[in-house]
Structures are given as C-alpha cells and as structure tokens.
Amino acid sequence: MNPLAESAAESRAEFDEELLGLLSRCAAADSGALQRLYELVAPILFACLTRILRRRALAEEALQDVFVSIWQRAGQFSASRGRPMAWMVSIARYRAIDLLRHERHVPALVPDLPERLGAQPEAESEGSSPAWLPPSGLLEHCLGLLTERQKHCLELAFVGGNSHEDISRLTGNPLGTVKSWIRRGLQSLRQCLEAVP
Amino acid sequence: MKPDNSELVDRLAAEYVLGTLRGPARRRFERWRANTLQVDQRCRYWEERLMHLAKGLKPVQPPAYVWPAIRKRLNLTPNRAPHRWTRRLALAASIVLVAGLAGLLYWRSLPAVRATASSIISTKSGTEMWEVKVFATTNRLVVQAAKLAARPAGHDYELWALPQGGNPVSLGVLPTEGTSSRVLTAAQKAALASSSQVAVSIEPAGGSPTGQPTGDIVFVAPLQASG
C-alpha cells in the first residue's frame, strides 16, 4: 500500500471510530454527540435522500425522521452490526423508499440527474473513495467485473431509489430483461466477493 | 417464506437492500428480518457492500432549519450558547452584567452529559479489552468492547462493581464486540459510587446464576471518577 492510500485508510478508520464513539454517546442520551454526528453525516444522508426523493422539502423532512431514528436506535447499534456509516445510510435509504410508497406524484425522470438514459454514473474515476466509505479494493474489483448494463441498473436502483418498473422505463428495456440484469448482477457480485477467502 | 433456504434469503436480502423489493413483499421481508438473525445478517452483508454503489454521491448541505427542528422533535436542550441573544443583551446592559451573564451562559452551555467515571480494562500485556463509562446524570453504563474480545466457549464475561466493604454487584454481561448501553439500577449506581475498581469474571452464558461471581475473576481495573 502506498503511503497516500495508507493515510487515507487511516483517516477512514478514524472516521469510523469517531462515529462509533458518537453513537455510544447518543445511546447515553448525550445531545452534543447527536449534534456532532449531524455535522459529520447529515450532508451525505441528505444527498442520499434528495437523490431518491427528488424533492427537497420531502428530503428535509425525511432527514429529520432519520436523525430521530438514529437517536432512538443508537443503543441498539454495535460494531458487530457492521459499520456505522452503512447502518445510517440504510436508515436513510429505507426511510426514503418508504416515503416513495406514499408519494405517487414523484416525477419518474428528472432531466438533470445523471441517471438519465445512457448517462454514465458520475465519479467513475478510479482511486480515492470518499472518507465516509470504507476502503474496499475487492468490492471495486468485483463491481468492475459486472457488465456496464448490470452496474448501471444496480446504481439506478441503489442510488436513485428506482423500482424495476422505473428502470425499465428509464432505460427503455423490457421489465423482464431489467429484472434479470439485476438478479444476475447481484449474483455475480456475490460469487466474486465470496471467491476470495 | 421458509428461512431454511439460504439461497432465497440471500436473493431477497440483496433486492431488499438494493431497494427493488417493493410493496407488500418489502413489508413482509422487513418483518422477517426483524425476527430472524440469519435474514438480518444477510441484509447487513449487502448493506455494507452495496454502499459502494453510492461512491459518486456528493454531500449536500441541508438547510439550517433542519437541525433545530430535529432538536425540537427530540426535546433536546441546545448545547451551544444563543449568541444573538447574548449580543442583544450586551447592547442593553453594562459590561459587568454581560460578563456575569456570559459566565452563566457558558456554564449552562456545557455539554449536558459527561461520563462521571470510567475504566479501561486491559490484559496484563496491555491489550485493551473494554472501555467502561458511567453516566450518573443519565443513569447509564456504556461499554465499548475492543476490536476482538473472544468469548470463552459457552460462557460470558460479566462485569462487577467492587464497592468498598460490600459484595460485588453485577453490572451485566460484557459485549465481545461493539458497544452496549444499559440503564443502571439504583443499587448498581450506589455500588459504582463507592467502588474504586471493577472486575470481570467468566460466567455461564447469560451471566452468573447466583448474583455473585461464580467463575474466575480474570480482570480487575481501576474505576476513575472523571473531573
């Protein structure tokens, strides 16, 4: 590992440690810890929410729900439950998906989003992951083995919160084809991840 | 849905995390996850891995009103002094009065919760095993396990307060990873208040059946009051 990568990995480990410490202080009802946690992760969670919900007012409300949940559930979190960032991103994404259920008027296609037909996902550039993401060369490698179509469908679903039907509409491919790309994409990902001990 | 089909569990977990499992199937799966460890584990597996699909997401600063709104919903007291209010007062009042008020505000703005005592439990060779923190103001005990505290097979580690002149008082089973937070009973709080040490014993899974240590005491560590 080169020194630069090493220091990046170290800063991510420190970030994880800080999040763990803050969650345990939240579990002890320390409101200062929630404020610091908000400063650190709200911008990422808000980015997830706006991307899925596509309406700022709705995303702002959802962000409040997410931090209320984090505060109430901090005591249930432990490092054995995985990385704190994955836990918080999941809370945010699931909340957004739940809200989508009730919001039938969300436009299916917003022209300035990079997920429009044929567009390449942003930040395709290799190398540095943002500090909030744990480093994983293996995962990058395995994602790299997927076909472009598979990877694009997975991104449309995960990042954009799009359903099978949305993706079929967005990409102009039949529903059955989209479903099978996604299923096979996930399957290959798992096989690749588990091939390495 | 039958939980014994691991292939099916994995496929559903992946689609649930991805967000493509929708409608009533999503609701059913959520209930299944809440009740089934194996399902929960597969979900966490995918949550950590699929997160990399969001690598390109750029942080977006939420508007300023959101944080106060969250604080209000949770009934939290502000942690920072209300600067504008102090400034207005400064205009109206004498410097002496402001100095007095600033002192008061500073005192009021100190973080509401601080550990009142803490202990680091380490092996003889200095490897940190657990960090124990007592929050007397909120009646909580928070224990953070060091990265790898292997559980003795079929047993648990149990934490004890060692009050001066009294019997050990159980503080519960220790986590072998992650953080645990629990509410202290009045008896535990009183025992901690007169303890200068905590101890760890090896007990049958779930903790001592007698309320007193039954297995070997494997660690003793000083409990230090925080300043």
Pick the CATH number of A136-197 from 3.30.479.30, 2.40.30.170, 2.60.40.10, 1.10.10.10: 1.10.10.10
Residue ranges of B 8-27 with Cβ closer than 8 A to chain A: 10-11, 14-15, 17-20, 22-23, 26
Mutate to test the interface with B, among A113, A179, A186 (most CBs of B within 10 A): A186
CB B48 within 8 A of CB A86: yes
Length of chain A: 197
Quote the pLDDT of residue B78. 66
Assigned token pair, B207:
């903790």
Nearest to B52 among A136, A157, A161 (CB): A136
Chain A with chain B: Cβ pairs closer than 8 A: 187
Residue B180 has pLDDT above 70, yes or no: yes
Question: Is A15's Cβ below 8 Å from some Cβ in B?
Answer: no
B49/A189 CB distance under 8 A: yes
More confident residue, A159 or A128: A159
How confident is the model over A38-78, as pLDDT tens digits?
999 999 999 999 999 998 999 999 999 999 999 999 988 87
State the Cα–Cα distance between residues B204 and B219, nearest whole angstrom. 17
Longest dimension (CA), chain A: 51
State whether residue A133 is helix, strand or coil. Answer: coil
CB A78 within 8 A of CB B177: yes
State the Cα–Cα distance between residues A181 and A150, nearest whole angstrom. 5
Residue A114 has pLDDT above 70, yes or no: no
Query: Which residues of chain A are within 8 Å of residue B64 when distances are taken between CB atoms?
Result: none
B47/A129 CB distance under 8 A: no
- Residue B130 Cα to chain centre, angstroms: 13
Query: Which residues of chain B are within 8 Å of residue A102 when distances are taken between CB atoms?
Result: none
The strands making up B217-222's β-sheet, listed across from edge to edge, are: B169-173, B155-163, B195-204, B217-222
How distant is the Cα of A27 from the closest Cα of chain B, in angstroms? 6
Pick the CATH number of A1-105 from 1.10.260.40, 3.40.50.970, 1.10.10.10, 1.10.1740.10: 1.10.1740.10
Structural domains of chain B, ranges and CATH numbers in brackets: 6-54 (no CATH), 66-109 (no CATH), 117-225 (2.60.40)
Query: Which residues of chain B are within 8 Å of residue A27 when distances are taken between CB atoms?
Result: 140, 142, 179, 181
Task: Out of A52-61, B45-54, B125-134, B164-173, pick the least confident.
Answer: B125-134
Write out the residue limits of the CATH 1.10.1740.10 domain(s) in chain A: 1-105
How confident is the model over B60-109, as pLDDT tens digits?
999 999 999 999 999 987 654 444 444 555 555 555 555 555 555 544 44
Quote the pLDDT of residue B5. 84
Write down the pTM of the prediction: 0.63
DSSP lists the bridge partners of residue B133 as B118, B142
Residues 6+ apart with CB under 8 A from B203: B155, B156, B157, B158, B173, B213, B214, B215
